[in-house]
A and B are shown apart, each in its own frame.
Chain A
Amino acid sequence: MTLVDIKGLDVGYVRHRRVTPAVLGLDLTVAAGEVVAIVGESGSGKTTTANALIGLLPANGRITAGSAVVDGIQTAGASERTLRRLRGSVVGLIPQDPMVGLNPTQRVGHQIAEAVKLRGLAGAAVQAEVLEHLAQAGVPDPELRARQYPHELSGGLRQRALIAIALAGRPKLIIADEPTSALDVTVQKRILDHLGGLVHEQGISLLIITHDLAVAADRADRVVVMQHGRKVEEGDPATILRTPREHYTRQLIAAARPVVPHFDVRDQVAPEPILQLTDVSKTFPVNDLRRGARGFNALDKVSVTVPRGQTHALVGESGCGKTTTLRIALGLETATGGSVVLDGDEISGLSWNRLRPLRRKAQLVHQDPFATLDPKFTVAQSVTEPLVSFRIGDRRSRLQRARELLDQVALPHSYLDRLPSELSGGQRQRVAIARALALRPDLIMLDEPVSALDVLVQEQILQLLADLQAALGLSYLFVSHDLSVVAEIAHTVSVMSHGRVVEQGPVAEVFTNPKSAHTRELIDAIPGRRVVDAA
């Protein structure tokens, strides 16, 4: 039986009295009990499709053509009243970001009870159902959690509370919009497993919206690939992975790389280190009015070595201390203890002025492409700024250098006059890399340089980094939470957890034969089993 039947759906957004199409001529069905995944990059129209289904498009969103029938009810052009009867009771939604998806001033239990009461229940039965749904969603100690406010719960628990809300309406279909992108991989895996089991048990259909082909392939009965608002390919995961018809799908599959280490330096003699951190500790003061000032240990005796001309990666989940390590290595943060040796010079404890000459040796590329460039600086100004800071060359020679740098990151010279607002995310990241190269450094510190980019753009930037390393003999300290990215670019790796290094060694060794339980858990959590099977 078909639960969702979309035919020729066009959705657009009205901007300046013009309709910009977001979804074009989409056909899609979801059968009862089926798990369907829509895969696409940002701007592919996947979230718009989901919102259109339950009439939750933003105020300027319009369905301009086609039909979308959910459980026998036409939702295209339907009145608010009709749509409201669908929401919750027929279609449940798990929104994108669990951190902000719950009302901060209402207790969690109350928010679930609201959904329960809409089914006509009242009195003590409501509370019992609330606890039941929380338990179903995998929340331990539901009585306690129901009484708490969202800010008292972790991200994973909030995600589970949102799942409980979606379950509370007893829907026939649950839409999970990027259900995991805001969470750590291990939490991601546990929640997706749980959600998959739940819908299977209760016979609920599931529509997963994701940018990650691996996630989609692992969990869906059918995968729909979207690009620029159109469906480009559809089929069961095995077929799509083995015999993709479209070039775009092939690119996505290539980008959903399994964790196969690219470099193997197990039997090689490591080159001499360019950067060596020994027993670095960092304590942040935490002001607590009740208990007085006390320290929070962000790093506990971390030792990391970056071999010259190679890439060393720091991996771990959020809050494990990897970014703090990088900032200390760069002298942006001072360590509480330990030593940092950059190219033979001890830099920890150096004043800004003493450190300054050493800055030419190590540069930074930041995670967020939208904040890494000064919005008021043209590309030429951004790229040459380090030269100006170090008073290198004159105007003409700097401009000449800027052209060279753009060549190196494969951007046309005509981009020199552009402002960041005129660049895409990937292009901004290229400019940030060019800026880091300006002083001809030996070492570049990369703080999650690709995690905010779409998968295909990620691939291009990683390729660029590898090419630059080969051409210029650069060393990288690469911080990432994404093991597949690390496998592709790094020679050696340190796995971090709670401010400590739990495992260290060549990527080929650590990833194929993990020694610590934490590393194993991280590797197990990586989606893409079916991708590997299909390969």
Chain B
Amino acid sequence: MTRYIVGRIIQAVVVLWAAFTLTFAILYLLPSDPMELQLAAAGIQEDSLAPDQLAAMKQRFGLDQSIWAQYWHHLTGVLHGDFGTSLSQQIPVSDLIGQRIGQTLLLSAAAATVSLVAGSLLAYLATFARWNPLRVFLTRLPALGASFPQFFVALFLIQFFSFQLGWFPALGTEGIQSLVMPVVTISVLTSSVLAQVLIKSFDETLRQPYIVTARAKGLSRSAVHLKHAFRNAALPAMTILGVLVGLTVTSSIVVETVFTREGVGKLAQEAVLAQDVPVVLAVVTIAATMFVLVNLVVDLLYPLLDPRISHTRGRVRPATPEVVTT
């Protein structure tokens, strides 16, 4: 048991380190000239600098060091919560993120909660609705929700609920009112993803022979569904929680941009536009950490919820259902 937990934690740390390294490699090793990128981010033309100025700049951004030295510097920095200095805003990245992360966490948490409830509810209704046309409609609904680009959903909501009806503000971060449409925008996608996985899982579960056993006992329809089908269907779907949380985080990039909310997502968008490499690296690292943490928690909880899985065997949990999202 302890051995399993420790092993799983070490595995998570290794994945996290590898993800950081990969991102670092992409950002620092791909064929663009880092100096040029960084000067552009700082708003300086490379030609306008004298050679000694250039050298000074290089030193300031640490670019005179070897790539290994830079990597080591960044890695040790991250471990101490230091993500370097933003190139475009000239202030520590950790400060920039610290100011904005609250907004994004609030948005992500709200969206994750809403989509968990909405997705499960939709899946339940789609599986157990008695009226056939309604069931078909509800089963198809998630595909529709996942087909609309998020920025489109956001613009549609703004057009309809802000401009036509005037119920919610179109922009800004003030008050709970401003949170409604961003949360709905994200949840349309994430609850659709969850509902698709759950509907498929319900479908497979209801075909299992033990459902026939339960019905043959004389249990009512709802008792069969709630006591036998729901738990067995929900267990495999649990493994996509990590993906869902990752999705709410990436969704915040588009959503915060459209609704002009000062969060980490909008920061990421601005950082990419300004090619502010340290900020991008920091945001990716934080998102990967969240994903890995949620997965770790699911992995540690799963054996407690599914009696078939024991800590002492090699197999830990069923494979994550394939979810197609970016």
Contact = CB atoms under 8 A, between A and B. Distances in A.
Interface in B165-212: 208-210, 212
A55 to B, nearest CB: 9
A104 B210 CA distance: 8
Query: Which 6 pairs across A and B sit closest by C-beta, in order of nearness?
Result: A88-B218, A93-B216, A87-B218, A149-B307, A115-B217, A290-B312
Contacts of B307: 104-105, 149, 151
Contacts of B294: none
A85 interface: yes
Nearest to B232: A105
A92 interface: yes
Contacts of A103: 210, 213-214, 228, 232
Residue from A105, A168, A287 having most chain B Cβ neighbours under 10 A:
A105
A56 B216 contact: yes
Contacts of B311: 289
B10 interface: no
Residue from B212, B213, B218, B220 having most chain A Cβ neighbours under 10 A:
B218
15 contacts: A54-B216, A87-B217, A88-B218, A91-B216, A95-B209, A100-B210, A103-B214, A103-B228, A104-B232, A114-B227, A149-B307, A151-B307, A287-B314, A288-B312, A290-B312
Contacts of B313: 288-289
Contacts of B210: 100-104
A84 B208 CA distance: 19
Contact of B209 (A101, A115, A166, A288): A101
Contacts of A95: 209, 212-213, 216
Nearest to A161: B213
Contacts of B4: 289
B218 A96 contact: no
Contacts of A97: 209
Contact of B217 (A96, A106, A165): A165
Given A115-B217, A169-B218, A105 B314 contact: no
Given A80-B221, A289-B313, A100 B209 contact: yes
B306 interface: yes
Contacts of A115: 217-218
If over half of A's interface residues share one DSSP class (helix, strand or loop), that class is named, otherwise mixed; here it is loop
Interface of B: 3-4, 208-210, 212-221, 227-228, 231-232, 235, 306-308, 311-314
A99 to B, nearest CB: 9
Nearest to B7: A289
B77 to A, nearest CB: 36
Contacts of A162: 213
A289 B312 contact: yes
B213 A93 contact: yes
Interface in A68-119: 80, 84-89, 91-93, 95-97, 100-106, 111, 114-115, 118
Contacts of A86: 218
B192 to A, nearest CB: 25
Contacts of A118: 217-219
B143 to A, nearest CB: 22
A289 B3 contact: yes
B308 A149 contact: yes
A152 B61 CA distance: 61
Given A86-B218, A97-B209, A288-B313, 15 more contacts: A87-B215, A88-B217, A92-B216, A93-B213, A101-B210, A103-B228, A104-B308, A105-B235, A105-B306, A111-B213, A115-B218, A168-B217, A289-B3, A290-B3, A290-B312
B267 to A, nearest CB: 43
B319 to A, nearest CB: 17
Contacts of A54: 216
Interface in A416-465: none
Contacts, number: 88
B213 A101 contact: yes
B157 to A, nearest CB: 38
If over half of B's interface residues share one DSSP class (helix, strand or loop), that class is named, otherwise mixed; here it is helix
A294 to B, nearest CB: 13
Nearest to B206: A59
B135 to A, nearest CB: 11
Contacts of A169: 217-218
Given A104-B232, A104-B308, A105-B306, A114 B217 contact: yes
Contacts of B216: 54, 56, 87-88, 91-93, 95, 166
A149 B232 CA distance: 14
A88 B312 CA distance: 38
B208 A100 contact: yes
Contacts of A88: 216-219
Contacts of B209: 95-97, 100-101
Contacts of A106: 227-228
A48 to B, nearest CB: 14
A97 B210 CA distance: 10
B301 to A, nearest CB: 14
A95 B228 CA distance: 16
Contacts of B227: 106, 114
Interface string A149-175: 101000000000010011011000000
Nearest to A92: B216
Interface string A50-70: 000010100000000000000
Contacts of B213: 93, 95, 101-103, 111, 162, 165
Nearest to A289: B312
Contacts of A85: 218
Nearest to B4: A289
Nearest to A175: B216
Contacts of A56: 212, 215-216
Nearest to A55: B215
Contact of A105 (B3, B212, B308, B312): B308
Interface in A303-325: none
Nearest to A168: B217
Contacts of B314: 287, 289
A199 B195 CA distance: 46
Nearest to A84: B218
Nearest to A87: B218
A64 to B, nearest CB: 20
Residue from B213, B228, B232, B312 having most chain A Cβ neighbours under 10 A:
B213
A510 to B, nearest CB: 37
Given A80-B221, A101-B210, A151 B308 contact: yes
Contacts of B220: 84
Residue from B208, B209, B215, B217 having most chain A Cβ neighbours under 10 A:
B217
B129 to A, nearest CB: 14
Contacts of B235: 105
B305 to A, nearest CB: 8
A98 B217 CA distance: 15
Contacts of A100: 208-210
B249 to A, nearest CB: 31
A97 B232 CA distance: 19
Contacts of A105: 231-232, 235, 306-308
Contacts of A290: 3, 312
